[in-house]
Amino acid sequence: TSWGLPFLAAPCQAGYYMQSSAQTECFPCDPGTYSEQPGASVCTECPVGKSAGSQASTACTDCQPGEYNPYPRQPKCTECPS
C-alpha cells in the first residue's frame, strides 16, 4: 500500500539539482556553478578567484598561480597579462 503518501523522487546526486520537488528529473550544474551535497534545489556560483570548468561540478577549484578570475560563475580562470 502507498499509505496515501505522495511519490518522492530520490534526491539528485552532488553536481546536479532538481528545481522543485514536483520534478522527477535532475539537471547538471552549469559550468561555473556546483553543488557539493546531494539533494540540491539550486547550484551555487563559484566565487571570484575560483572556477568550475565542466557540467555537474561538485566543487570549484582555485585559479592556478599566474591565473586570475575577477568574476563569479566562471568556467575557467584567465592567464595573467605579462
pTM (2 d.p.): 0.82
Tell me which residue has cell 530520490.
10
Q: What is the pLDDT of residues 10-48, one digit of tens each?
A: 789 999 999 877 778 899 999 999 999 999 999 999 999
CA distance 40 to 1: 29
> pLDDT > 90: what percent of the chain?
77
Of 57, 64, 61, 60, the closest CA to residue 40 belongs to: 57
Of 13, 49, 12, 56, the closest CA to residue 34 belongs to: 56
